[in-house]
């Protein structure tokens, strides 16, 4: 028996990660400044970690209910109301997941299969396309444009819709572009979607990292709540990536259905993380605020730095990524990243890792210290002056 | 504008231009704001946080609890001034609770600090008593953890 013959074709078809080779290079090199990582450089606020530790000391080391501790779901329910004016019942409209990623997977597996189409605006997080393909459904890609600041326009959405469209993914604030959608822009999208028989999966994992105005959820628009599944979590806002905790909010039917998969695959999210998460939502605002202000400064420094080098860089207002165009250098995204890493020891990620439309762009994460960012800008500037 | 103070408190070596970029303001506005802070003595100085333990310099820091008799009409201010004017005194705080002043002294040796307390501080008329505590190790000072070995522990992961 040949083991690889036993593997499903659709799994074999998943391409290897586009940036794996840079990470392999990275491990062999010294003194590299990495602006390639998509997770906060901050450690979890101490009061949050301490709450997790305390729960262990108290012996809270058992499974929780499948959908998560009721106390946590109640806290999430209150938090969604307080932050985004969304009403979800703790008992049957909130599901605690292992990170936002599990939520994306659950939502897609619950809703789509062969014959269905899933609209995915790109560049965006790779899991949307990957998870869609695993269900057998067909991803329909919308190529977002820099001139629209990588926002989803009603015209593009309209064109992508078909009678087979079952799900539209709304990924804002966006990884990798840092784009956001404000209330007016979402409203134009809502007009198209609200009377159609389809579901929106709104990935709002970066909601708290919004730098102008407050994050607006598409679920808050009239007629949208019952047809939207909101994905959120603790990783980005509370710097809790390693705790692996997220949540999904939506109509009772969806949550009940998703919980069926969740209970078999996961059983329940880690209990220690759930205890810490209650503390994060209850007493975490000040820490989040401080991190957001620091991210905002770094964001401005990066945008200013790239513009001063003569690169086009639209102003990203969310997440922790800057997505400048490197077309002026004449290099492809991959060439740029590889050469930059080898000559100046700065790691950034090619835009193509987030969809073909990302060609000509690089993703630069500002989840790194100001010192690193300033040094990286110096090196990138030197790199560009040499190659152009 | 208080953001400028927050930035400078963390790192006072940033240039006006860098602070202007970080705050999204013009360089001129930042310069004006800082000049005003200096004039109003909101910003009272710029210093560097040094971990002297890592240098060859010998230095001893002591925290002294001082109990005082308040002076009529002046409270503790006058006697506090007599104390904080000594250059050996690095910090001086009026406290609530079981004693009145916290005085932080820096000297070359334990003997030097002890002599200062015995010869200069304790004999002052308003000083009722002193208790000297020597600092053995500084873990964290002014929000900065000394000997912070935390490196970037993030793994290269595709997200």
Q: What tens digit of pLDDT does each residue of A291-350 get?
A: 999 999 999 999 999 999 999 999 999 999 999 999 999 999 999 999 999 999 999 999
Assess whether B61 and B124 both reside in one domain: yes
CATH number at residue A266: 3.40.640.10
In this prediction, residue A283 has a pLDDT band, given cuts at 50, 70 and 90, of: very high
Smallest CA–CA distance, residue A94 to chain B, in Å, is 25
A34–B21 C-beta distance less than 8 A: no
Domain count, chain A: 2
Q: What pLDDT was estimated at residue B150?
A: 63
Interval A190-211 mean pLDDT: 97
Assess whether B58 and B33 both reside in one domain: no
Assess whether A222 and A339 both reside in one domain: no
Assess whether B17 and B84 both reside in one domain: no
Closest-approach residue (CA) in chain B for A298: B22
The three-state DSSP-derived secondary structure of chain A is CCHHHHCCHHHHCCCCCCCHHHHHHHHHCCCCEECCCCCCCCCCCHHHHHHHHHHHHCCCCCCCCCCCCHHHHHHHHHHHHHHHCCCCCCCCCEEEECHHHHHHHHHHHHHCCCCCEEEEEECCCCHHHHHHHHHCCEEEEEECCHHHCCCCCHHHHHHHCCCCEEEEEECCCCCCCCCCCCHHHHHHHHHHHCCCCCEEEEECCCCCCECCCCCCCHHHCCCCHHHEEEEEECCCCCCCHHHCCEEEECCHHHHHHHHHHHHHHCCCCCHHHHHHHHHHHHHCHHHHHHHHHHHHHHHHHHHHHHHHCCCCCCCCCECCEECCECHHHCCCHHHHHHHHHHHHCEECEEHHHHCHHHCCEEEEECCCCHHHHHHHHHHHHHHHHHHC
The SS3 of residue A34 is strand
Assess whether B34 and B79 both reside in one domain: no
The dihedrals phi and psi of A112, each to the nearest 5 degrees, come to -125, 160
A34–B23 C-beta distance less than 8 A: no
Let me know: does A366 contact A373? Beta carbons within 8 Å.
yes
Closest-approach residue (CA) in chain A for B159: A38
Q: What pLDDT was estimated at residue B1?
A: 62
Domain boundary among A234, A259, A283: A283
Compare CB distances from A300 to B6, B24, B159 and report the shortest one's residue. B24
Assess whether B72 and B28 both reside in one domain: no
Smallest CA–CA distance, residue B19 to chain A, in Å, is 9
Q: Evaluate if residue B159 carries a pLDDT over 70.
A: no
Assess whether A300 and A238 both reside in one domain: no
Interval A233-253 mean pLDDT: 97
CATH number at residue A295: 3.90.1150.10
pLDDT in tens, A80-108: 999 999 999 999 999 999 999 999 999 99
Smallest CA–CA distance, residue A23 to chain B, in Å, is 6
**Side-chain half-sphere of A179: how many Cα atoms within 13 Å?**
26
Q: What pLDDT was estimated at residue B155?
A: 73
In this prediction, residue A368 has a pLDDT band, given cuts at 50, 70 and 90, of: very high
Question: How does DSSP classify residue A97?
Answer: E
B6–A300 C-beta distance less than 8 A: no
Q: What pLDDT was estimated at residue A167?
A: 98
Assess whether B15 and B76 both reside in one domain: no
Assess whether B60 and B105 both reside in one domain: yes
Measured CA to CA, the distance from residue A264 to residue A289 in angstroms comes to: 37
Q: Is residue B17 part of a domain?
A: yes
Domain count, chain B: 2
pLDDT above 70 as % of chain B: 95
Interval B131-138 mean pLDDT: 92
- What torsion, rounded to 10 degrees, do the Cα atoms B4, B6, B9, B15 define? -30
Q: Residue B28: which residues within 8 A CB-CB, separation 6 or more?
A: none
Measured CA to CA, the distance from residue A133 to residue A136 in angstroms comes to: 5
pLDDT in tens, B28-75: 999 999 999 999 999 999 988 888 888 888 889 999 999 998 777 778
pTM (predicted TM-score): 0.88
Range of the domain at A181: 46-283
Q: Residue B38: which residues within 8 A CB-CB, separation 6 or more?
A: none
State the CB neighbour count (10 A cutoff) for residue B128: 12
B159–A293 C-beta distance less than 8 A: no
Tell me the chain B residues in contact with residue A304 when contact means C-beta distances shorter than 8 Å.
21
Assess whether B63 and B132 both reside in one domain: yes
Q: Evaluate if residue A196 carries a pLDDT over 70.
A: yes
Closest-approach residue (CA) in chain A for B13: A371
Q: What pLDDT was estimated at residue B56?
A: 85
Compare CB distances from A17 to B11, B154, B158 and report the shortest one's residue. B158
Closest-approach residue (CA) in chain A for B25: A300
Give the least confident one: A206-215, A338-347, B142-151. Answer: B142-151
Smallest CA–CA distance, residue B49 to chain A, in Å, is 17
Token readout for A175 is 């990884």
Q: What pLDDT was estimated at residue A234?
A: 97
Tell me the chain B residues in contact with residue A38 when contact means C-beta distances shorter than 8 Å.
157, 159
For chain B, the residue count is 159
Tell me the chain A residues in contact with residue B150 when contact means C-beta distances shorter than 8 Å.
43
State the CB neighbour count (10 A cutoff) for residue A6: 7
Let me know: does A88 contact A251? Beta carbons within 8 Å.
no
Assess whether B71 and B131 both reside in one domain: yes
pLDDT above 90 as % of chain A: 92
Domain boundary among A233, A251, A283: A283
A304–B3 C-beta distance less than 8 A: no
In this prediction, residue B149 has a pLDDT band, given cuts at 50, 70 and 90, of: low
Assess whether A25 and A130 both reside in one domain: no
Interval A5-16 mean pLDDT: 88
Domain boundary among A268, A283, A298: A283
Query: Which of A9-13, A26-30, A138-142 is the most confident on average?
Result: A138-142
Range of the domain at B128: 52-137
């Amino acid at each position: 028996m040949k083991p690889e013959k036993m593997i499903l074709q659709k799994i074999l078809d998943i391409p290897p990660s586009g940036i794996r080779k840079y990470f392999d290079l990275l491990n062999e090199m010294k003194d590299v400044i990495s602006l390639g990582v998509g997770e906060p450089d901050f450690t979890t606020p101490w009061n949050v970690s301490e709450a997790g530790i305390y729960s262990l000391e108290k012996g809270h080391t058992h499974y929780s209910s499948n959908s998560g501790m009721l106390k946590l779901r109640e806290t999430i329910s209150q938090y969604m109301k307080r932050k985004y004016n969304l009403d979800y019942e703790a008992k049957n409209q909130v599901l605690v997941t292992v990170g936002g990623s599990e939520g994306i997977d659950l939502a897609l597996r619950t809703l789509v299969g062969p014959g269905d189409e899933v609209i995915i605006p790109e560049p965006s997080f790779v899991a949307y396309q990957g998870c869609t393909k695993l269900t057998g459904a067909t991803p329909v890609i919308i190529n977002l444009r820099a001139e629209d600041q990588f926002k989803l326009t009603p015209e593009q959405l309209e064109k992508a819709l078909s009678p087979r469209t079952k799900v539209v993914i709304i990924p804002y604030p966006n990884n990798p572009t840092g784009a956001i959608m404000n209330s007016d822009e979402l409203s134009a999208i809502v007009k198209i979607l609200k009377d159609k028989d389809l579901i929106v999966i709104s990935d709002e994992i970066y909601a708290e990292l919004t730098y102008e105005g407050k994050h607006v959820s598409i679920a808050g628009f009239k007629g949208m709540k019952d047809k939207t599944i909101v994905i959120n979590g603790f990783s980005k806002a509370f710097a809790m990536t390693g705790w692996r905790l997220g949540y999904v909010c939506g109509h009772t039917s969806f949550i009940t259905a998703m919980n069926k998969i969740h209970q078999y695959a996961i059983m329940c999210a880690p209990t220690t993380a759930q205890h810490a998460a209650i503390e994060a939502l209850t007493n975490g605002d000040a820490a989040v605020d401080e991190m957001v202000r620091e991210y905002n400064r770094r964001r401005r420094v990066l945008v200013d730095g790239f513009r001063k080098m003569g690169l086009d860089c639209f102003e990203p207002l969310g997440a922790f990524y800057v997505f400048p165009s490197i077309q002026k250098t004449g290099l492809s995204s991959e060439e740029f990243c590889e050469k930059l890493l080898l000559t100046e020891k700065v790691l950034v990620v090619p835009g193509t890792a987030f969809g073909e439309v990302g060609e000509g762009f690089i993703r630069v994460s500002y989840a790194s210290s100001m010192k690193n960012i300033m040094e990286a800008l110096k090196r990138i500037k030197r790199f560009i002056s040499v190659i152009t | 504008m208080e953001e400028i103070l927050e930035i400078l408190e963390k790192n006072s070596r940033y240039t006006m231009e860098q602070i202007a970029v970080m705050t999204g303001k013009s360089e001129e506005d930042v310069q004006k704001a800082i000049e005003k802070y200096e004039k109003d003595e909101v910003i009272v100085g710029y210093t560097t946080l040094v971990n002297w333990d890592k240098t060859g310099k010998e230095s001893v820091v002591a925290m002294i609890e001082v109990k005082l008799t308040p002076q009529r009409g002046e409270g503790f201010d006058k006697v506090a001034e007599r104390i904080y004017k000594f250059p050996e005194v690095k910090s001086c705080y009026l406290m609530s609770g079981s004693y009145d002043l916290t005085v932080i002294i820096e000297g070359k040796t334990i003997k030097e600090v002890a002599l200062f307390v015995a010869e200069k501080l304790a004999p002052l008329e308003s000083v009722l008593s002193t208790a000297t505590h020597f600092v053995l190790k500084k873990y964290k000072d002014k929000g900065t953890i000394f000997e912070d070995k935390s490196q970037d522990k993030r793994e290269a992961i595709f997200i």
